[in-house]
């Protein structure tokens, strides 16, 4: 029997590996020089490289933007075992591998809502400015998808109980602020489930069912990680100065910015968009409720999670207007625009009239938007700043007391003291 079970699982494992490789090559194509001409990007250099430079231990408790970035810090530490010439390649390759694994896990767990291939297609074909691809700085924007699936999707029939899974969940939850958003959503689910337990309400009964199907170990890890991030943000983290929150800017970001970042163009006026979005939301909930009651609250959670990120970007005022007129700050819209396509797929899938038509409707739309915006399918190649030549000074500490290395985007640079370099 053991041999038979091994034969059953081998094809599934091979399929996952092949899908993972496909995702890897898609992401590599979206950041074409991440492997062919690896260079450090923005915080890859000024934060993770510079702050790890000269330290034998990983700087996992050093904050940036007010919170912890556990996984990038660990990768920066691992990279110190290699030559300075190789470190950008380690950063970029690790980022592509982690991003691919996060998308694969999310796409597989999202099959309740949309086909795996459609979820992957949304990542591949949705217009973007490419800022999040192929860099260690931005892996948190991909890890949020895996963290969402682990926390808010019903646990599998054969749940993963391996310690590595829970360690990976903790690492993701301590990379970026997303565990805080998720904990708030989970708290809402718990409150609604408790209300239904005390006062039976048919509409709320699904939240009780949903709560019983969640992996409580994962929720505990996410909640503890969220508490840690909140403590760090409140008492330890050094914050980046930002403008005041503007409700007006937040409205424009949601109604116009979402259209720009999802379709590459503002298709309708904000007043019309508001009506259309509510109509779509009603259609999604209604169709999902009729066919699979567990689907609609997950979609609402998905939309709330994405909306929270868009609204949070309103603090970028007075420059926030760039986010709803161009592709500026596209990272804040990443989850919302992927969620949009998944929710549409789910609405069609569970609609009696359109249940077999989702691929025929959504696939051409995704392709159409991609064709209309070919320049927004990948990140432009970065200017070659000759990293290998620039780091030669680090190998000879006696040459200079301080070395400045230019990185992308200009005029960013790294300034370190060669005397602190760890001998390699």
pLDDT over threshold 60, residue 9:
no
Torsion sign, CA atoms 239, 244, 250, 252? negative
Taking only the tens place, the pLDDT of each residue in 159-198 is 666 888 999 999 999 999 999 999 999 999 999 999 988 8
Closest CA to 153 of 123, 113, 115, 191: 113
Taking only the tens place, the pLDDT of each residue in 17-40 is 999 999 999 999 999 999 999 999
Taking only the tens place, the pLDDT of each residue in 70-108 is 999 999 999 999 999 999 999 999 999 999 999 999 999
pLDDT over threshold 50, residue 344:
yes
Q: Please answer whether residues 16 and 103 qualify as being in contact, where contact means their C-beta atoms are separated by less than 8 angstroms.
A: no
The per-residue pLDDT for 2 is 47
Number of neighbouring beta carbons within 10 Å of residue 46: 18
pTM of the model: 0.93
Bridge partners (DSSP) of residue 414 are 405
| 44-70 average pLDDT score | 95
pLDDT over threshold 80, residue 228:
yes
Distance CA 29, CA 310 (A): 27
User: According to the per-residue pLDDT averaged within each range, which of 104-113, 279-288, 356-365 is highest?
Assistant: 104-113
Is the model more confident about 9 or about 348? 348
The per-residue pLDDT for 239 is 60
pLDDT over threshold 90, residue 293:
no
User: According to the per-residue pLDDT averaged within each range, which of 88-92, 268-272, 314-318, 411-415 is highest?
Assistant: 88-92
- The rounded mean pLDDT for the chain is 88
Least confident interval from 146-150, 178-182, 325-329: 325-329
Q: State the burial class of residue 417 (Cβ atoms within 10 Å of its Cβ: 0-12, 13-18, 19+).
A: middle
Number of neighbouring beta carbons within 10 Å of residue 56: 8
Is residue 291 very low, low, confident or very high in pLDDT (cuts 50, 70, 90)? Answer: low
| 262-288 average pLDDT score | 84
pLDDT over threshold 90, residue 141:
yes
Number of neighbouring beta carbons within 10 Å of residue 36: 11
Q: Which residues of 278-308 are buried (b: 16+ CB within 10 A; e: fewer)?
A: eeebeebbebbbeeeeebbbbbbbbbebbbb
The per-residue pLDDT for 241 is 56
| 229-253 average pLDDT score | 82
3-state SS track over the chain: CHHHHHHHHHHHHHHHHHHHHHHHHHHHHHCCHHHHCCCCECHHHHHHHHHHCCCCCCCCCCCECCECEHHHHHHHHHHCCCCCCCHHHHHHHHHHHHHHHHHHHHHHHHHHCCCHHHHHHHHHHCCCCCCCCCCHHHCHHHHHHHHHHHHHCCCCCCCCCCHHHHHHHHHHHCECCHHHHHHHHHHHHHHHHHHHHHCCCHHHHHHHHHHHHCCHHHHHHHHHHHHHHHHHHHHHCCCCCCCCCCHHHHHHHHHHHHHHHHHCCCCCCHHHHHHHHHHHHHHHHHHHHHHCCCHHHHHHHHHHHHHHHHHHHHHHCCCHHHHHCCCCCHHHHHHHHHHHHHHHHHHHHCCCCCCCCHHHHHHHHHHHHHHHCHHHCCCCCCCCCCHHHHHHHHHCCCCCCCEEEECECCCCEEEECHHHCCCC
The per-residue pLDDT for 8 is 53
Number of neighbouring beta carbons within 10 Å of residue 384: 10
Least confident interval from 18-32, 119-133, 319-333, 388-402: 388-402
Distance CA 141, CA 175 (A): 10
């Amino acid at each position: 029997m053991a041999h038979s079970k091994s034969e059953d699982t081998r094809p599934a494992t091979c399929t996952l590996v092949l899908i993972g490789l496909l995702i890897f090559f898609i992401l590599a194509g979206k950041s074409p020089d991440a492997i062919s001409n690896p260079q450090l990007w923005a915080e890859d250099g000024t934060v993770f490289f510079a702050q790890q430079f000269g330290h034998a231990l990983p700087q996992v408790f050093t904050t940036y933007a007010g919170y912890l970035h556990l996984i990038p810090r660990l990768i920066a530490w691992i990279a110190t075992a290699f030559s300075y010439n190789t470190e950008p390649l380690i950063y970029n390759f690790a980022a592509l591998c982690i991003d691919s694994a996060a998308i694969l896990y999310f796409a597989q767990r999202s099959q309740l809502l949309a086909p795996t291939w459609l979820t992957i297609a949304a990542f591949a074909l949705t217009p973007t400015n490419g800022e999040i691809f192929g860099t260690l700085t931005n892996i948190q924007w991909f890890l949020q998808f895996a963290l969402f699936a682990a926390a808010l999707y019903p646990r599998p029939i054969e749940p993963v109980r391996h310690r590595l899974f829970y360690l990976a969940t903790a690492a993701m939850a301590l990379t970026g602020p997303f565990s805080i958003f998720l904990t708030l959503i989970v708290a809402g689910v718990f409150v609604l489930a408790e209300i239904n337990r005390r006062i039976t309400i048919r509409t709320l009964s699904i939240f009780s069912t949903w709560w019983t199907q969640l992996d409580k170990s994962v929720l505990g890890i996410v909640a503890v990680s969220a508490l840690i991030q909140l403590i760090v943000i409140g008492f330890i983290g050094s914050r980046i100065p930002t403008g005041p929150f503007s409700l007006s800017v937040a409205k424009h970001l949601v109604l116009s910015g979402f259209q720009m970042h999802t379709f590459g163009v503002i298709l309708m006026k904000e007043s019309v968009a508001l009506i259309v979005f509510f109509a779509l939301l009603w259609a999604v909930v209604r169709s999902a409720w009729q066919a699979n009651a567990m689907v609609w609250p997950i979609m609402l959670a998905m939309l709330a999670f994405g909306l929270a990120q868009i609204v949070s970007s309103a603090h970028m005022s007075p420059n926030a207007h760039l986010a709803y007129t161009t592709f500026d700050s596209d990272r804040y819209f990443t989850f919302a625009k992927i969620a949009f396509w998944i929710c549409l797929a789910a609405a069609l899938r569970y609609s009696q009239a359109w249940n077999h038509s989702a691929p025929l409707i959504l696939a051409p739309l995704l392709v159409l938007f991609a064709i209309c915006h070919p320049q927004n399918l990948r990140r432009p190649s970065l200017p070659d700043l000759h990293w290998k030549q620039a780091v030669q000074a680090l190998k000879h500490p006696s040459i200079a007391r301080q070395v400045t290395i230019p990185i992308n985007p200009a005029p960013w640079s790294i300034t370190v003291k060669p005397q602190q370099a760890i001998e390699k």
